[in-house]
Chains A and B, each alone.
Chain A
Amino acid sequence: MIESRAFKVSRVIVLTLLTLFVLFPLYVVVSTSIKPLSDIGGQFTWIPSTITLQPYIDMWNTVPLLRYFINSLIVTSVATVFSVLISIFASYALARLSFRAKRPFSLIILSTQMFPGILFLLPLFLIFTQIQRLIGLQLNGSYLGLIITYMTFTLPFAIWMLTGYLRSIPASLEEASMIDGTGRMGALFRVVLPVARPGIIAVTVYSFITGWSEVLFASILTNNATRTLPIGLQAHSNEADVLWNQLMAASIFVSLPILLGFLFVQRYLVAGLSAGAVK
């Protein structure tokens, strides 16, 4: 593009403003996380009086951070792995095969993907209560119950995004393999899955990210033993005397893996959402 002077000037102004908007809260988080206890509680100080990594050590004792972390990790990983495994098969059927239930099945996946969790939370809560009454299996407050509810949003999303991705892989690849004597399933495992690996990784990471930030189901269906990170940290942030430096240190700690994962898959995310959403 041939850039006029006005364009270049406006570019500097707009990008500076956007940077400040993005940076401001991030600076508050990072600077607060390295402040000593004496710097917090009163007015916000822009520059820490001394820089300390103590909050990163103390945070483990102020809230049961490790337990929250493990709970989040278990629930999110299991829900993600199951969703992705199940969606690989379903997506392949949707992308490649024609069958009678295809349209109704697609419609259900598509519409449930857009429904808010609150529509499912209330009935699932009741079903879980009833199951516990009838057969004594505890689902409210247990990992299993939370994993089931997390699949309400990870599964349709994974199916939809992966279907879009598989469609973008030319069918001629598998056809060649099938001519060589492998059946459809052989072609799926030997040809399609290796080629679709970036898409599968993207869907996995993205499902994990969504579960990692989930608030609604976890706020009702967890107890002290199974509380996840967002609920644990949110509850702490609502207390009267919050140790903000430690809370910010914990925030950074729980964000880093997600941030790296996201930056790693964001290119596939755009392609996947566009392919899945407008086809």
Chain B
Amino acid sequence: MTSLVESPEAPPETPDAPPPTRAHRWGKSLLALRDARLAVWLIVPAAFLELIIHIIPMLLGVWIAFTDLDQSNIRNWLQAPFIGLENFFRGLDPSNAIGSEFFATVGRTAIYVLVVLALSWALGMAGAVYLNSKFRGRGLLRTFFLVPYAIPSYVGTIAWAFMFNQRDGVINQILVDTLGLLPERPFWLIGDLSFISLIIVSVWSLWPFAFLMLLAALQNVPEDVYEAAALDGAGNWKQFTRITLPMVNQANAVLVLILGLWLFNQFSIPFVLFGPASPDQAMLVSPLIYQNSFLQWDFGLGGAMSFLLLIALLIVSVFYIRLVLPKGKEDD
């Protein structure tokens, strides 16, 4: 293998690599050994960073969950008293206010994920199917549909907050003054309707992502498949259910996982729409942990909730990794 000949760019970490003549004899296993050594050097910076930004903080986070860490001892948190499972009892007991709020928030977040995912998929699919057909202006429309996702999400959210304003927002103006559908102006950013607002803003910003992924999947379907189906007498609807839907299976899997996780971890849209504290009716998991930790300075409780979230995500990640990284396939 002439590839073992040292070049000027060869990394200094392999100065003891055997001369080519011996390498020729040892063949492949030696090459593998050299590659493995090089690989270690290549991943060291990333692995070191992973350690300090992810692994150590996560372990510390687990420790926090078992301590009584709050505003009084935050400056000297290493001495925070260890209180065992007390944070979990407080956070997980459905009979007290904190526990019931936690469970309600988990349930609300699940509904939020499902509804936004379903609506984004439906809009994205509709856009993708129609823009996959040929007509004038489709390129322009395609770019235009991506705009809500392509602008920073806080910009879109600030615009919606402006529109949802109770007193002089354009939404109430249309609903009450123009159309006369409602007798008086409802509050969109506090109270029961805040959850609806959150869903609308989230769908608006994220459906283009579903659209983008689904359109890419549809463009991979050869045109003659549809032509053959049409020759066999399949109408447009039948073509959709028999060809289009099965062809986007893989894109669907990616979408559900990526978009589902984004939504489950959603923080920025409620933060910008409602401010640092979400209304109770629109509280999601990440904002709840944020509120307990940084608005009420109860780090122990926030840590306990984070710990439960971590466990839940680890379970999801087992499925995710099985899909993404099948065993034994990592060496391809």
Which residues of A are interface residues toward B (Cβ below 8 A)?
1-4, 6-7, 10-11, 14-15, 18-19, 21-22, 25-26, 28-29, 32, 41-44, 86-87, 89-90, 92-94, 97-103, 105-112, 114-124, 126-127, 129-130, 133, 148-149, 151-152, 155-156, 159, 167, 175, 178-179, 181-186, 189, 209, 212-216, 219-220, 229-230, 233-234, 237-238, 244, 247-248, 251, 254-255, 258-259, 262-263, 266, 269-271, 273-274, 276-279
Contacts and interface: CB of A to CB of B under 8 A. Distances in A.
Contacts of B181: none
Interface string B186-206: 000000000000000000100
A133 B323 CA distance: 44
Contacts of A179: 2-3
Main secondary structure of the interface of A (DSSP, over half): helix
A245 B179 CA distance: 26
Contact of B313 (A1, A10, A114, A270): A114
A118 B303 CA distance: 10
B227 interface: yes
Contacts of B141: 15, 19
Contacts of A238: 275
B57 A127 contact: yes
Contacts of A115: 54, 58, 265, 310, 313
A7 B226 CA distance: 14
B39 A93 contact: yes
B68 to A, nearest CB: 14
A112 B10 CA distance: 32
Nearest to B261: A114
Given A44-B173, A122-B299, A266 B146 contact: yes
Nearest to B45: A86
Given A124-B57, A127-B57, A230 B152 contact: yes
B254 A114 contact: no
B97 interface: no
A99 B35 contact: yes
Interface in B120-172: 123, 126-127, 130-131, 133, 135, 141, 143-156, 158-163, 168-170
B250 to A, nearest CB: 6
Interface residues on B, range: 35 or more
Contact of B268 (A1, A86, A230): A230
Nearest to B48: A86
Given A110-B320, A122-B293, 17 more contacts: A1-B230, A1-B236, A15-B131, A32-B162, A43-B173, A112-B54, A118-B289, A119-B309, A121-B293, A122-B61, A123-B58, A129-B74, A181-B7, A185-B10, A213-B268, A244-B162, A277-B324
B15 to A, nearest CB: 12
Contacts of B85: none
B111 to A, nearest CB: 18
Interface in B93-118: none
A188 B159 CA distance: 45
B35 A263 contact: no
Given A101-B43, A183-B10, A258-B152, A120 B57 contact: yes
B331 interface: yes
B296 interface: no
- Specify which of B6, B43, B177, B227 lies most central, judged by the most chain A CB atoms within 10 Å of its CB: B43
B212 to A, nearest CB: 6
A123 B45 contact: no
B272 interface: yes
Given A21-B204, A151-B53, A248-B159, A219 B271 contact: yes
A266 B139 CA distance: 14
B245 interface: no
Nearest to A32: B162
B81 interface: no
26 contacts: A18-B123, A25-B160, A28-B159, A28-B163, A44-B169, A90-B42, A90-B46, A92-B42, A97-B42, A98-B36, A107-B325, A115-B313, A118-B293, A122-B303, A126-B64, A156-B50, A159-B46, A183-B11, A216-B267, A230-B152, A230-B268, A233-B158, A238-B275, A258-B151, A263-B143, A270-B216
